[in-house]
Chain A
Amino acid sequence: MNIFACFMDGIRRVNSAKRYIFVVYLINVLLALGLAISLGGAIKDSLGSSMAAERLRDGFDGFWYSNFSAQARDLAATFDPSVVGIGAIFNSLDAFLQGNVLDLETSIVAIGIFYLLLWSFFSAAFISIYIHRDDTSGPHSFFQQGAHFFWRFLQLAIMAGIIYYLLFHFVMPWLTDRVTDLTRQMVDERVVFSYVLIKYLILWSLVLGVNIIFDYSKIITVWQDRSFVLTIPWQALRFIGSHLVSTTGLYLCLGVVGIVLILFYWLIVPGAGQASWVAITGVFLIGQLYILSRIWMRCLFYAGQTTFYESVAGQLDSEPDTAEAAIKPDKVEGEGEMQAEQTPQSDLSDTT
């Protein structure tokens, strides 16, 4: 199956189980809402009955913000007017790209990690239903599958986390030092910038490489219902290595869609000018649609990759050793000839 077919099939699979995306979104909202209420309270208290509130409502008030930020602690200290519009996304993306997400305020990181753990649960559930290709099994099965694979996914997440830690805490500083050494005598910002770009290209090639390995590790874990997961990343790596063009091509294709999504949001998101509850709610809903689409994108990554894995592994499942089959190389030029339709039950019966 070619990349486009996997992509399109992934969309079909994701859309066949939309309601679970809303469940994840709802959790995301509820977790963030608690913090937002707390921050809103701090802002409200700080404004009191002053006329600064009017200015802040109509746009922004520099005097109030100077005073507020000079005295803000903990959660309130994270407030910055650059959260307006695309800034909310860029601020988080910037921290993400530089591996600084865990350096944010404690309560945000704590909730983020909790959400990350929930994703270990939900990614198992999503991959399970995507392997089943439709949502016929119902919520009970969805959550049951999540619970069934949770511990194994958690182990995979820990393994991945260790590698990410090594990448951001050892490889990245090492790369930064190399760039610093190489650009030490350079006086042209454009040249230095290109070196920095190369640094991030290398770092993020590794990070995304790890991510793709663990994405397929999850798929293999569910596909084969393997209880011992420690060797699965190796199996996933061999699978990716055997189908390098297709797996990375699909991953990059999905990534491009994610970037287009950000650009589209940038295009449509309004600035700071809302002065009524209706306008505020409208802008908030646009933001929520973006968050929802991010979750949808995340699921699309799983679904698209599941489709591809299924198209390769399922095709070869008829051979005696499923594990071996999963890593047999495809012929890139012949990918389109592979059969996409599989019956998961028969695949699962071959495992362990």
Chain B
Amino acid sequence: MRITYEDGREVDLTPQLTFIQPDDGNPDDRTVLQAPLAEPVESGSKVTVSIEWEAKVPRAFARTGAIGDYYFVAQWFPKIGVFEANGTWKCHQFIQTEFYADYGNYDVSMTVPTGWVVGATGQERSQQDNGDGTTTHRYYQEDVHDFVWTANPYAQVYTALFEDPSLPSVDMRLLLMPDHLHHKDRYFEATRAALKYYGTWFGAYPYGHITVVDPAYQSRSGGMEYPTMFTGGTRWLSPPEMLSPEGVTVHEAGHQFWYGIIGNDEFEDAWMDEGFNTYSTTRTMEAAYPERVLTKRYFERFIPVVFSSVKRGASRTAGADGFGGFYSNLKRDAMATQSWQQGPNAYGLNSYTKPGLMLRTLENYLGWETFQKVMSTYFDRWKFKHPRPRDFFAVVNEVSGQDMSWYFEQIYFSSNVFDYGVGSVKSKAVEKTKGYLEKEDGLVFENLSKKDTKDGDDKKQFLSTVFVNRWGEGVFPVEVQITFTDGSQATEQWLGRERWTRYDYTRSSRIERVVIDPDHKLTLDINYTNNSWIKESAAPLAAGKWAAKWMIWVQSVMEYLSFFA
């Protein structure tokens, strides 16, 4: 490693190089290299750093490496740490997070066997046949914070153009493996969907070109984002209902926006790209691929089967019901805990799902129009920069015109969970007046209930009481909707601060159903099932139906077991 100063002096830094372990002190960790300078670099001055290194391409793992003649080369060069505005270097060890780097210009030449297909960050500027069976491909890209490349002799290359009246066009280049040729159009359509919806909602894709790499089977390089290039992933047999490659393609193409253009620190705030992108992916998938049905893979996951009669379960940002509530990883760490420090299983939850739910709930609370402005303002203000969480919160407050600190305090800074539920619901006939009434001729005994009986039940009044509870620590305003047997409704707005509240009604009909948060705005609610109550429960029928289906599975298992008799 050499450093060249403006005056032409060149200093070899190699003897001073040492591996450091700023996070855990593990002496075997060699992911951060420190190069102390002999003299400081003055503010405003310029130095040139030259690094020579050799790297052995490993067998494919952790989304980099080679398998057969398929090379996917990511995180392959010494990446300069980010020098923060506060004068410190941001250089975490590579433990469980993704990455962080500054924006720059990349001019990279790769020499590979002639005839191989090459894909890389940026666009190819030139190709030079070296006459020795190799060809050198030169790629160039400005304003990106990483560079990745791939080379193999297998892929077929396809191109297509993304066009939208309100957005700049984008050249799409797809490197497709032979066993996935039949998925070509699906890759392009999914990429189009991401460029269209992200571009319309948040901000236009600025680079004008994008490379989609269909990863080789077993290459472990699928589903990863890099500037202007990403890897999708699918299987040889993948019916359209499986939404593979669509799901991963939308997600990774979406990372061009949240990660590529908004360059947050993934070491510390992974949620700022993964969470934003989870939210955005779900929204895009809902718009572009609204039909979601259950699918399953059999026979070592080679054979897919579609269960079109079963609408697929809740999507990632539709609800927090699948996380075990109070006894789950939701309670392990607050989102504010730096990503590299999060406890077991908390990283994924706090980087992807919970922030996705946080944004979805915020959208529901502010309304899409306002929230879209929040997102597009944040995108515009922070593109090609390194925003921190507080920067996003500030944009939310500014654009919405509300102080949303109460919201972020609960969701970002704490591990509180939200759970509103219907407590008890009662309707009983009102006891009519029975006793002495004071009249002109003195006290007279009256039994009005007899009159009611004579007139029939339609005059009967019912006193109905509804208790609703806040089981979780989280507080969020919710709507409570009560429907009566005559079809009339009452809608209550509950700020949700108390642990419980009650509503009383005297009406001519009983309560038929109660729903808290009928529009499911609070997607962070860990148990949406207890949000409703219905007089005539369908539970016996529903349970009977699914238990009957399950029973056939058990019977079939028994039959297969008896094969061994």
> Interface of A with B (CB < 8 Å)?
28-29, 31-33, 35-37, 39-41, 43-44, 46-54, 56-57, 59-71, 78-79, 81-98, 101-102, 104, 108-109, 111-113, 115-120, 123, 153, 157, 160-161, 164, 183-190, 192-193, 196, 200, 211, 270-277, 280, 283-284, 287-288, 290-291, 294-295, 298
> How would residues 436 to 475 of chain B score, 1 for a CB under 8 Å from any chain A CB and 0 otherwise?
0000000000000000000000000000000000000000
* A32 surroundings in chain B (CB, below 8 A): 551, 554-555, 558
B549 within 8 Å of A (CB atoms):
yes
Interface of chain B residues 297 through 314 with chain A (CB within 8 A): 298-300, 302, 305, 307-314
Q: Given B236, B529, B559, B560, which contacts A67 in the complex, CB threshold below 8 Å? A: B529
Closest to B425 in A: A49
Q: Which of B311, B541, B547 has the most CB of A within 10 A?
A: B547
Asked whether A280 lies within 8 Å of B312 as measured between CB atoms, the reply is no
13 additional A-B residue pairs with CB within 8 Å, beyond A50-B530, A93-B560: A28-B559, A49-B533, A59-B310, A62-B319, A66-B319, A81-B313, A94-B299, A109-B561, A119-B565, A157-B565, A184-B218, A187-B216, A196-B302
How far does the alpha carbon of A102 sit from the alpha carbon of B535 in the complex, in Å? 42
Q: Which of A88, A102, A186 has the most CB of B within 10 A?
A: A88
B57 within 8 Å of A (CB atoms):
no
B540 within 8 Å of A (CB atoms):
yes
The 6 A-B residue pairs with the shortest CB-CB distance, nearest first, are A271-B309, A62-B313, A40-B547, A66-B322, A36-B551, A187-B216
Asked whether A193 lies within 8 Å of B565 as measured between CB atoms, the reply is no
Closest to A111 in B: B558
B534 within 8 Å of A (CB atoms):
yes
- Say whether, besides A196-B300, A291-B559, A50 and B534 are in contact (CB < 8 Å): yes
B289 within 8 Å of A (CB atoms):
no
Asked whether A54 lies within 8 Å of B319 as measured between CB atoms, the reply is no
* B540 surroundings in chain A (CB, below 8 A): 44
How far does the alpha carbon of A96 sit from the alpha carbon of B535 in the complex, in Å? 44
> How would residues 163 to 205 of chain B score, 1 for a CB under 8 Å from any chain A CB and 0 otherwise?
0000000000000011100000000000000000000000000
Can you give 10 contacting A-B residue pairs, CB < 8 Å? A32-B558, A49-B537, A50-B529, A52-B532, A67-B526, A87-B296, A92-B559, A101-B557, A272-B307, A294-B556
B538 within 8 Å of A (CB atoms):
yes
Q: Given A88, A273, A275, which contacts B553 in the complex, CB threshold below 8 Å? A: A88
Asked whether A81 lies within 8 Å of B310 as measured between CB atoms, the reply is yes
Q: Given A43, A193, A298, which contacts B546 in the complex, CB threshold below 8 Å? A: A43
Asked whether A271 lies within 8 Å of B310 as measured between CB atoms, the reply is yes
Minimal beta-carbon separation of A41 from chain B (angstroms): 7
* B328 surroundings in chain A (CB, below 8 A): 70
Asked whether A43 lies within 8 Å of B542 as measured between CB atoms, the reply is yes
Asked whether B558 lies within 8 Å of A112 as measured between CB atoms, the reply is yes
Asked whether B217 lies within 8 Å of A187 as measured between CB atoms, the reply is yes
Q: Given B68, B313, B321, B552, which contacts A88 in the complex, CB threshold below 8 Å? A: B552
* A82 surroundings in chain B (CB, below 8 A): 294, 296, 305, 307, 310
Asked whether A280 lies within 8 Å of B541 as measured between CB atoms, the reply is yes
Q: Given B179, B309, B535, which contacts A189 in the complex, CB threshold below 8 Å? A: B179
* B555 surroundings in chain A (CB, below 8 A): 28-29, 32, 287, 291
Closest to B532 in A: A51
B78 within 8 Å of A (CB atoms):
no
Asked whether A70 lies within 8 Å of B559 as measured between CB atoms, the reply is no
Minimal beta-carbon separation of B180 from chain A (angstroms): 8
Asked whether A185 lies within 8 Å of B67 as measured between CB atoms, the reply is yes
- Say whether, besides A97-B299, A190-B179, A271-B310, A88 and B550 are in contact (CB < 8 Å): yes
Asked whether B534 lies within 8 Å of A101 as measured between CB atoms, the reply is no
Asked whether A186 lies within 8 Å of B217 as measured between CB atoms, the reply is yes
- Say whether, besides A36-B550, A57-B545, A88 and B556 are in contact (CB < 8 Å): yes
B81 within 8 Å of A (CB atoms):
no
Asked whether A69 lies within 8 Å of B236 as measured between CB atoms, the reply is no
> Chain A: interface secondary structure?
helix
- Say whether, besides A123-B565, A185-B67, A67 and B307 are in contact (CB < 8 Å): no
- Say whether, besides A33-B551, A70-B324, A84-B549, A160 and B564 are in contact (CB < 8 Å): yes
* A44 surroundings in chain B (CB, below 8 A): 539-540, 542-543
> Interface of B with A (CB < 8 Å)?
67-70, 152, 154, 177-179, 216-219, 235-236, 294, 296, 298-300, 302, 305, 307-314, 318-319, 321-325, 328, 422, 513, 515, 526-535, 537-565
* B307 surroundings in chain A (CB, below 8 A): 81-82, 84-85, 87, 271-272
How far does the alpha carbon of A102 sit from the alpha carbon of B562 in the complex, in Å? 12
Q: Given B217, B309, B558, B559, which contacts A85 in the complex, CB threshold below 8 Å? A: B309
Minimal beta-carbon separation of A151 from chain B (angstroms): 14
* A153 surroundings in chain B (CB, below 8 A): 565
Minimal beta-carbon separation of A142 from chain B (angstroms): 17
How far does the alpha carbon of A140 sit from the alpha carbon of B546 in the complex, in Å? 39
How far does the alpha carbon of A47 sit from the alpha carbon of B550 in the complex, in Å? 17
Minimal beta-carbon separation of B369 from chain A (angstroms): 26
Minimal beta-carbon separation of B497 from chain A (angstroms): 24
- Say whether, besides A88-B556, A164-B564, A64 and B529 are in contact (CB < 8 Å): yes
Minimal beta-carbon separation of A198 from chain B (angstroms): 13
* B216 surroundings in chain A (CB, below 8 A): 187
* A81 surroundings in chain B (CB, below 8 A): 294, 307, 310, 313, 546
Asked whether A65 lies within 8 Å of B313 as measured between CB atoms, the reply is yes
Closest to A218 in B: B565
Asked whether B177 lies within 8 Å of A188 as measured between CB atoms, the reply is yes
Asked whether B553 lies within 8 Å of A83 as measured between CB atoms, the reply is yes
Asked whether A104 lies within 8 Å of B217 as measured between CB atoms, the reply is no
How far does the alpha carbon of A155 sit from the alpha carbon of B324 in the complex, in Å? 47
Closest to B546 in A: A43
Minimal beta-carbon separation of B342 from chain A (angstroms): 20
Closest to A154 in B: B565
* A87 surroundings in chain B (CB, below 8 A): 296, 305, 307, 553
Closest to A65 in B: B313
- Say whether, besides A63-B319, A88-B556, A92-B557, A298 and B562 are in contact (CB < 8 Å): yes
How far does the alpha carbon of A67 sit from the alpha carbon of B545 in the complex, in Å? 19
Asked whether A53 lies within 8 Å of B322 as measured between CB atoms, the reply is no
Q: Given B235, B528, B530, B546, which contacts A48 in the complex, CB threshold below 8 Å? A: B530
Closest to B297 in A: A94
How far does the alpha carbon of A36 sit from the alpha carbon of B546 in the complex, in Å? 9
How far does the alpha carbon of A138 sit from the alpha carbon of B328 in the complex, in Å? 60
Q: Given A51, A88, A111, which contacts B515 in the complex, CB threshold below 8 Å? A: A51
Q: Which of B216, B515, B544, B562 has the most CB of A within 10 A?
A: B562
* B298 surroundings in chain A (CB, below 8 A): 90, 93-94
How far does the alpha carbon of A83 sit from the alpha carbon of B549 in the complex, in Å? 6
- Say whether, besides A51-B534, A113-B561, A187-B68, A59 and B311 are in contact (CB < 8 Å): yes
* B533 surroundings in chain A (CB, below 8 A): 49-51
* A88 surroundings in chain B (CB, below 8 A): 549-550, 552-553, 556
Asked whether B294 lies within 8 Å of A66 as measured between CB atoms, the reply is no
Q: Given B302, B324, B513, which contacts A71 in the complex, CB threshold below 8 Å? A: B324
* A295 surroundings in chain B (CB, below 8 A): 559
- Say whether, besides A39-B550, A67-B322, A188-B178, A116 and B557 are in contact (CB < 8 Å): no
* A118 surroundings in chain B (CB, below 8 A): 562
Minimal beta-carbon separation of A271 from chain B (angstroms): 2
Q: Which of A67, A93, A283 has the most CB of B within 10 A?
A: A67
* B558 surroundings in chain A (CB, below 8 A): 28, 31-32, 111-112, 115
Asked whether A62 lies within 8 Å of B314 as measured between CB atoms, the reply is yes
Closest to B219 in A: A187
Asked whether A84 lies within 8 Å of B68 as measured between CB atoms, the reply is no
Minimal beta-carbon separation of A84 from chain B (angstroms): 6
Asked whether A91 lies within 8 Å of B532 as measured between CB atoms, the reply is no
* A86 surroundings in chain B (CB, below 8 A): 305
How far does the alpha carbon of A276 sit from the alpha carbon of B565 in the complex, in Å? 38
Asked whether A51 lies within 8 Å of B319 as measured between CB atoms, the reply is no
